[in-house]
Amino acid sequence: MTRVEIASMIEEMATALGCDYDYYHYQSNEVVKAPYLLFDYPDRDDVTADNANYAHKETLNIEYDSKFRNFAAERKIEGILTRHGFTYSVDEQQLDDQGVYEIMYSMQVFISEG
């Protein structure tokens, strides 16, 4: 999958949820109204052999923040991930200091050029 295809998938999720989205870069003093989606690539573990990088494998995190637990929104996100062929893990937590409930989807993705 390319980064453009991933960005398009994130946009599809945001449209389905009726919320904003962005690459994870909000400043700590920036106020963003929930619900919103953030995504980033925090880790990279390329497949290597014979002194060459054969495939770019990265962790993709997609974070959905809302004022309350929204099971319908979670099912929409998970449906889109499944339709795009992703296997993912889910983490959840209440962020009292930000006043939001966070659902974090984490998956491995092979990034292709294009």
pLDDT value for 70: 93
Residue 74 has pLDDT above 70, yes or no: yes
Rounded to an integer, what distance in angstroms lies between the CA atom of residue 14 and that of residue 22? 10
Give the residue-averaged pLDDT of 29-48. Answer: 86
pLDDT value for 40: 95
Give the pTM. Answer: 0.88
pLDDT value for 96: 83
* Cα dist from 14 to 21, 29, 45, 48, 63, whole Å: 6, 23, 28, 35, 11
Give the residue-averaged pLDDT of 95-108. Answer: 90
